[in-house]
Structure 1
């Protein structure tokens, strides 16, 4: 009896399947926001140096009340290039002469200044507590904030390889349950971390488990990025970073408890020579679907025809060393062939899109102070963006659609970057929302185009290559923000230029609209 017949007997679309879909919907709604949490837990509020005359209530000059706060600030803090109080420096001595300039802006470039040796004072009106205020991740330490995002994304990269390999060896359900527990423990403890180093370590381990959960979840649900809405809404209601972290972490313990009823893929168990466990899983499905009598008829004899051929290979992304080696080989291979070009172009394309996408959604504060509004708008735009992407694929083809979307993305990012300081309100909001929309459409188009280009016989291996490219791009996105120390525009120029390059590179790939899909490597070479 074929496996499909077995599945029909235990119920192919019964109560068990419905519960499983609902369960993974809830899982995604809880897990995906962990990728975006630091848009809110790591916000940089307004800040300045702590100075005695302003912030020590016992100081004689402060307690008299003769001078206003504005006057005290003027003689204590120098002005930056935008004629605003400097965030990272102060005068070592009070500059009383600045009080007699009658509203003119003094030239303080020749006056001695010093770093904020006594710490900072933060504006707590919008964000009472963030990891930035907790550990003073500003000025000379501002790059450490980007490192927290990088470590989480790098954890996702390493975790997808390691846990993917272990899933094949120990079973997907067991590893998935472990990832639920690991994510629950690490991100709950992150909310209580006593030091920044411990926090970073815990976030790395959280990322280690996150990618595996999202990979094992239903792929059609992942594409609906309405999780952005839930993150923005909850973050607006809960502005303390410890509480927000706990709100998204503690429910994972409940998810872990409910995961006990998850069943390992029966087909996977049978084709990997574990028929007894496969039949046991099918009996559990039959019981949950209300087919109690069917379970007794499922014996070893009914699945003999489902024995899997011995030449079946393990999916590529479950072979980490082989993955890295083949990527290098493809990159340096001197023997030119069409399939090598397709791999290289697809790899770069996936890398560039994910780098730009995560560069946008992980750095909301770059676009404006109202990060809650940006998060909600970014979530709303994904619905029409996916629909427009489908229409573009159907009417314009795979290559031209992606070129248009990625060109719009690059132009949007570069335009935002070089907008004059006085025109960064509504226009920046519109352009950033457009950028996320076209990037979402490009991601969907890229996924479909990639699947159509890859021959069936090497699809698992190719998905592994592209998965590593995507994870590398996502991990690099927060690291590039460190370049703002040299130039505030440099990371965004990189995001914009790489987006445009990806749009040009896709023209070098074969068009697959209304074309027969390749089943073998020879089919790809003939195209």
Structure 2
């Protein structure tokens, strides 16, 4: 979400460097000199709201025209031309953004959106790569590697000399950032017993709090380079997942982790922790079949479950990011609007902690998706104003709640040995849909409410699809592919 600030659009107009030295000779302040040059060289007109608007990509041909205070285009006869000497950027709100640093305006204006798509491309690649890797080398090493990728790319991007370098580093930031979150969800769920697994949603609450309070440093740090560096902090590391250690036969390390957790929780463990029969059974399972991504669709029940979850993930990702982009018009103050958009997620995640335990994962996911969908559809019949904003935020509330639940639900539905692959695959498809979210918003030129109606319709369909999933509340997580296939059968 930091891209809202580092890629923020900036008002700009053509530079007239030949006039700069002459302007200073008249003893004008820097601000007065800038305004005089702007008024004397840039075409302008009044908008329908009665505001004076200056051209951003063209200027009058002032070649050979001398500057004097109060110069007016009517004083000389000249046609217009494109900006041939760069641009002047309004720094009243931002000292620097990527737009002003790399001249991403006029013919290069679309590159700001391209860099965001490249970031999403990084999340796509990272989700599937680290999803597979976490099942091979373990959750701890995956957390370490995603941390390292995020840290290095986050520091190096600050020294970007041009847009191409910046976009490349954004790819690697996406490559590490999202997989870190996915792996954290997996390891957190594998640590916690069935009765407390809903507390993993607290991870999402921390994201929402960070989302909301990002507006604060962004308000005081108006340079995109310094803001990016400030937000690039080393993240904490956790011990390896005991479930994964057991699944790969590392019983000594698994026993150390479990013993440490038991000491913290003041629980007395039985001895021996792993019986000979248990270890022999685990070894037999490992030799019979080495899990791959194909196991997500190899058997009938797992196949239907995967298709269903992929669809729900895609809808949730598209609607969440679409509403986030669309809700940037909440108010004239970008920082307040950003904070509200992030803040609405906190009560949604807090609600999730209780409803997933009281109603179960399936009904809770159904409720949140249906709430978000109905709210989005309702906006088509509400005029612009406070009522529309309120209903739109209800939609964001619902879809945010669904996003947190689908993370927890997916981890619980798959067996340990393909859990990382499953999360990575679902997240990958979600990122594909996320890339299309801004494209759906373009449809507003045909009918203003059309994008939100599309989001709402998909959300309602996904809510009904969620009812086909088995309930996982209070259930033991499946450990093997066989257990995963049989999970939820009556």
TM-score (norm 2): 0.72
Per-residue Cα deviation, 1:335-389 (whole angstroms, up to 9, x for no partner): xx99866654543332122122123435765555422112221232123334556
Closer, same or farther in 2 for the Cα pair 1:437/1:91, shift >3 Å?
A: farther
3-state DSSP class of the match of 2:126? Answer: helix
2:427 is aligned to 467
Please report how far the alpha carbon of residue 497 of structure 1 lies from its aligned counterpart in structure 2 after TM superposition.
1.2
Per-residue Cα deviation, 1:215-238 (whole angstroms, up to 9, x for no partner): 222442332121112311121122
Structure 1 position 91 matched with structure 2 position 55: no
Per-residue Cα deviation, 1:135-190 (whole angstroms, up to 9, x for no partner): 01122212111122222222122112112222222232122212222211110111
Please report how far the alpha carbon of residue 91 of structure 1 lies from its aligned counterpart in structure 2 after TM superposition.
3.0
| Contact 2:135–2:417 under 8 Å retained in 1 | no
Residue pairs, 1:71-90, within 5 angstroms: 73=39, 76-79=42-45, 84-90=53-59
| Contact 1:150–1:476 under 8 Å retained in 2 | no
2:339 to 365, 372, 376: 376
Per-residue Cα deviation, 1:304-344 (whole angstroms, up to 9, x for no partner): 3442253369999x845x48x95xx99xxxxxx99866654
3-state DSSP class of the match of 1:403? Answer: helix
Q: Within 1, Cα distance between the matches of 2:220 and 2:307? A: 45
2:157 to 173, 190, 206: 190
1:221 to 202, 208, 215: 202
3-state DSSP class of the match of 1:58? Answer: helix
Q: Within 1, Cα distance between the matches of 2:37 and 2:306? A: 63
Gaps of 5+ in 1: 1-35, 101-110, 331-336
TM-score (norm 1): 0.68
1:503 to 437, 460, 466: 460
Q: Within 2, Cα distance between the matches of 1:145 and 1:403? A: 33
Aligned length: 446
Q: Within 2, Cα distance between the matches of 1:212 and 1:182? A: 10
Per-residue Cα deviation, 1:8-42 (whole angstroms, up to 9, x for no partner): xxxxxxxxxxxxxxxxxxxxxxxxxxxx2111111
3-state DSSP class of the match of 1:44? Answer: coil
| Contact 1:402–1:445 under 8 Å retained in 2 | no
1:350 is aligned to 313
| Contact 1:455–1:524 under 8 Å retained in 2 | no
Q: Within 2, Cα distance between the matches of 1:315 and 1:246? A: 45
2:276 is aligned to 304
Gaps of 5+ in 2: 66-70, 189-199
Please report how far the alpha carbon of residue 450 of structure 1 lies from its aligned counterpart in structure 2 after TM superposition.
6.6
Q: Within 1, Cα distance between the matches of 2:59 and 2:320? A: 38
Residue pairs, 1:377-456, within 5 angstroms: 377-386=340-349, 394=359, 399=366, 401-412=368-379, 419=384, 430=390, 433-444=393-404, 446=406
3-state DSSP class of the match of 1:239? Answer: coil
Please report how far the alpha carbon of residue 205 of structure 1 lies from its aligned counterpart in structure 2 after TM superposition.
1.1
Q: Within 2, Cα distance between the matches of 1:313 and 1:428? A: 58
Please report how far the alpha carbon of residue 506 of structure 1 lies from its aligned counterpart in structure 2 after TM superposition.
3.2
Closer, same or farther in 2 for the Cα pair 1:159/1:231, shift >3 Å?
A: same
Q: Within 2, Cα distance between the matches of 1:514 and 1:177? A: 33
| Contact 2:13–2:42 under 8 Å retained in 1 | no
1:56 is aligned to 20
2:230 is aligned to 247
1:40 is aligned to 5
2:192 is aligned to none
Closer, same or farther in 2 for the Cα pair 1:383/1:427, shift >3 Å?
A: same
Q: Within 2, Cα distance between the matches of 1:70 and 1:427? A: 43
3-state DSSP class of the match of 1:79? Answer: strand
| Contact 1:43–1:130 under 8 Å retained in 2 | yes
